[in-house]
């Protein structure tokens, strides 16, 4: 039987690249997003071309009820989802003094509460089966912080803390919990970053280039594999050696 993975926020960018990479490794995949539904459905159709089963479900990961329906869909159509990739996230670029409770709730709702909601929904099956892979997409800014991205940095740091703690709790159940911290990756999140800033970030990257989504997806597929079974509670920095 094929293993099965849920990849949140997988209509484009790192999420889509991860869904494709997992399908190429023989995983059935549940594709998810909340806005780009046509793109999400197209990704699911594309994955079927790799000889696996794939389906799409629209759900806002910050909404626990919506995530409950996502779980019901996945369980009914795919059975045991043994791998969860918490990729859905939003960025925000603003001075700290311009932030308010609304922006705080929005960023934390998707980036942190979303990880909580999805993990909470799919975890019982992993515990019952004594096997599972939980992979959270954080950010290098969650490790070192970024000016004018305080809320984003805080949310991604919290995801790291959640995963490290949860890995200790779930180890006896045969479930690993790890995080990937991407650096500067060519996705839509870069659209709001000026060319001069990107140039400076590339200059601070020893490999001398912007990353691409498949760079991150390759790390995720390793963490999803059985070969990674003795790796848990870790944060893999996929940033081209960015100097922090």
pLDDT bracket for residue 244 (50, 70, 90): low
Average pLDDT over residues 21-29: 98
201 is a domain residue: no
pLDDT bracket for residue 195 (50, 70, 90): confident
Total domains present in the chain? 1
Q: Give yes or no for residue 109 having a pLDDT over 90.
A: yes
Beta-bridge partners for 133: 83, 176
- φ/ψ (deg, to 5) at 13: 60, -140
User: To the nearest whole number, what is the mean pLDDT of the chain?
Assistant: 95
Average pLDDT over residues 99-105: 96
95 is a domain residue: yes
44 is a domain residue: yes
> What pLDDT is stored for residue 198 in this prediction?
85
Q: Give yes or no for residue 14 having a pLDDT over 80.
A: yes
Query: Is there a catalytic annotation at residue 71?
Result: no
198 is a domain residue: no
- C-alpha dihedral sign at 186, 189, 191, 197: negative
207 is a domain residue: no
pLDDT bracket for residue 136 (50, 70, 90): very high
Q: Give yes or no for residue 192 having a pLDDT over 80.
A: no
For residue 123, the enclosing domain spans: 4-184+214-236
Q: Give yes or no for residue 188 having a pLDDT over 90.
A: no
Beta-bridge partners for 178: 135
Q: What dihedral angle (degrees, nearest 10) is formed by the CA atoms of 11, 17, 23, 27? A: -80
235-238 β-sheet, strand order: 54-58, 28-33, 4-7, 83-86, 132-137, 175-182, 235-238
Q: Which of 50, 71, 93, 152 is catalytic?
A: 152
Average pLDDT over residues 35-64: 97
Report whether 138 contacts 180 (CB < 8 A).
yes
pTM of the entire predicted model: 0.95
24 is a domain residue: yes
194 is a domain residue: no
190 is a domain residue: no
Q: What is the DSSP secondary-structure string of 37-67? A: HHHHHHHHHHHHTTTS-EEEEE--TT-HHHH
Report whether 50 contacts 74 (CB < 8 A).
no
CATH of the domain at 21: 3.40.50.720
Average pLDDT over residues 107-119: 98
């Amino acid at each position: 039987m094929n293993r099965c993975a849920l990849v949140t926020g997988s209509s484009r960018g790192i999420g889509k690249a991860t869904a494709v990479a997992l399908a190429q490794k023989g995983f059935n995949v549940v594709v998810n997003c909340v806005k780009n539904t046509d793109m999400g459905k197209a990704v699911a159709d594309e994955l079927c071309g790799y000889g696996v089963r794939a389906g799409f479900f629209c759900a806002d990961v910050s909404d626990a009820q919506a995530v409950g329906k996502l779980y019901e869909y996945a369980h009914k159509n795919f059975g045991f989802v043994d791998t969860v990739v918490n990729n859905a996230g939003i960025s925000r670029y603003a001075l700290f003094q311009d932030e308010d409770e609304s922006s705080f709730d929005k960023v934390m709702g998707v980036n942190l509460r979303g990880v909580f909601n999805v993990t909470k929904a799919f975890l019982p099956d992993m515990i019952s089966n004594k096997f599972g892979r939980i992979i959270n997409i954080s950010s290098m800014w969650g490790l070192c912080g970024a000016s004018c991205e305080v809320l984003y940095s805080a949310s991604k740091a919290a995801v790291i803390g959640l995963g490290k703690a949860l890995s200790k709790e779930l180890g006896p159940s045969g479930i690993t919990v790890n995080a990937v911290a991407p650096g500067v990756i060519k996705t839509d999140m870069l659209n709001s970053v000026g060319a001069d800033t990107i140039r400076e970030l590339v200059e601070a990257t020893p490999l001398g280039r912007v990353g691409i989504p498949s760079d991150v997806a390759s790390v995720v597929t390793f963490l999803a594999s059985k070969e990674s079974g003795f790796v848990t509670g870790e944060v893999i920095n996929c940033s081209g050696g960015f100097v922090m």
